[in-house]
Structure 1
Amino acid sequence: MADGGVCVADDGPGVRVDQAERADGPGLETLLTRMQFKAGSGDRREVTLGFCGVGPYVVNALSSRLTADVQREGVRWVQEYARGVAVTPLTEAGPTTGSGTTITFWPDADIFTASEFSFEALAERFRELAFLNRGLEISLTDRRRPPEPPSVRFRFPGGARDFVAFLDGQAATPGDLDIIGFEHEDAQMAGTVEVALRWRDTGEERVQSFANSRPTGGGTHERGFRDGVAAAVNTYARKRRLLAVTDPDLDADRIGAGLTAVVSVKLDDPEFHGAIRDVLGHAVVRARVEHAVREHLGGWLEDRPEQAAAIIDRIVHGALGH
């Protein structure tokens, strides 16, 4: 916003306005005034910017002013806060035909010596979230720059496939192989895995991993992905006699050369480790992701023998099509 505030609006059902404790989460005032810490990153179906699960309580506490506007079940409700405390009662503001929640906040200048928001950093994160949640649409407008405020809109029906294409970007060429992708629900790990990958004629490996839409610095899902790719490639290469009997299995470094991949898991109960809690735990996740990648990539290789041969040749000899 032009005055330094930030307005965030969604078109969901609207946050509950009653304060009763329910399974579907806290009411508005509880959400904005009490710490709602979660060990993981929340429900796998939620899409949040934060990484620590503390919710909007922290934003409210660090804002000189915050307004909440909720449209729910045909009624509009409004409430104002200052430095984390409600300064007006929750007030009914008339009927509405819409639904959703709008939060507008102004960072507290007594806490922050500077509160300049980066349009580029926000756009990068919003783009990432749209890639990881197919069908989600996110718009960002910077009203600090009149007369024509910069505005972007992100929506990617292709999900992780679109993400891989974006990562390859201007470096992509007409001769590139197809992007391989799949999404798989797995009850044993209580979640889903979505993977997209492509080998290109470059020595650079780019593997980005995510858990519940948050970037990760590795973990069981990424190790499972690498295990599955290695198993599928080596099994296919030996079955088709693209490796001699005396040749050792292709190792991870050779398989990863020229590989661009996105690995995204969404879990009901994620477990994070590390100093900044960016490494995914759960041994079962590694096994299940490995199984899913091995099955889907193996099937793709079997169905496309020409492209499969080009991939194996690229890995073995270091150049596609030679």
Structure 2
Amino acid sequence: MSTIGKLRQFELPREYYHWLSKESVWGWLFLLPSLLVLGLVSVYPLTRGIYLSFFEYDGIGDPEWVGLDHYATILGWTEFWIVMRNTLVWAFAAVVIMATIGLGFAIMLNREFRGRSIATTLLLLPWAVPFISIALNWRLMYNFELGPLNGFLRLAGISDGLPWIASSRYALFSVMLAWVWRNFPFFMLTFLAGMKGIPGDLYEAARVDGSSKIDSFRHITLPFLQPVVVVMTLLMSLWSLNHFTLIYVMTGGGPGNSSMVLPVYIYQQAFHFGNMGLASAIAVVMLLVMLTYGLIYLRLYREDVGGK
């Protein structure tokens, strides 16, 4: 076969021609720095963590191959399952509370009233505060002797004070309140934007037909907001599962393991106890949990997220 014939034999299909166009080549060249940085800060640590999960490694010496021993160890730990339970409760209970509060404020702000812009600004402020500042301020608020929360309880005669973050009974709930306070504006703003996109004619038609405000909310507002709810709850659930700063600064996972969640547990195993391999295995299990949850969630609501 001639050289020309061989070139024609390996000619790209027409639908792939755009990959070789000048615009496509320049586009990939512009994306190349970002892809390199993404690989450096995301892909390499991920693959390195999976690799280390099969080794005994203290961060200093040479890794020693142990196979699946770390996975067998953590799956047999009662402590690990307590931390897993805390993580799931922390993530999903907080998301439900945030979504409920955010929806309530979005409904309020979707109406015309004097001072609405000021109220919107004030309600958005928590979203702009850094996590370290939130953690330190809420720790002060929870202080048993000087905290304003216990001061209010004493003033109202309800209680002599609660050990908010010093008690295994209240610690996880106390940190969850701070997490909800910081993140509910995200739900509020997104729901409010979704409500602005609902045609007003639908509400007018519902009023003409004699529908109450509750009926309009159930049959107009909620169906239109459903795709937004699906995406928002998925994102915030994953962010909550992966959050570290607030819990670490406020309680460090204590007292005991009452407020310990997987990100803090991984950090503790890696940097407090020097078990890099074991911490990597826990991180891989956490990654699988998050991937499984995300895939199942999107599978159940794929029509709402992507449309038909």
- TM above 0.5, yes or no, is no
Task: For CA contacts below 8 A with separation 6 or more, give which structure has more relative contact order.
Answer: 2
Which one has a larger percent helix, Structure 1 or Structure 2? 2
Indicate the structure (1 or 2) with the bigger Cα radius of gyration. Answer: 2
Per the normalisation by structure 2, the TM-score is 0.24
> Is the strand fraction higher in 1 or 2?
1
TM-score (norm 1): 0.23
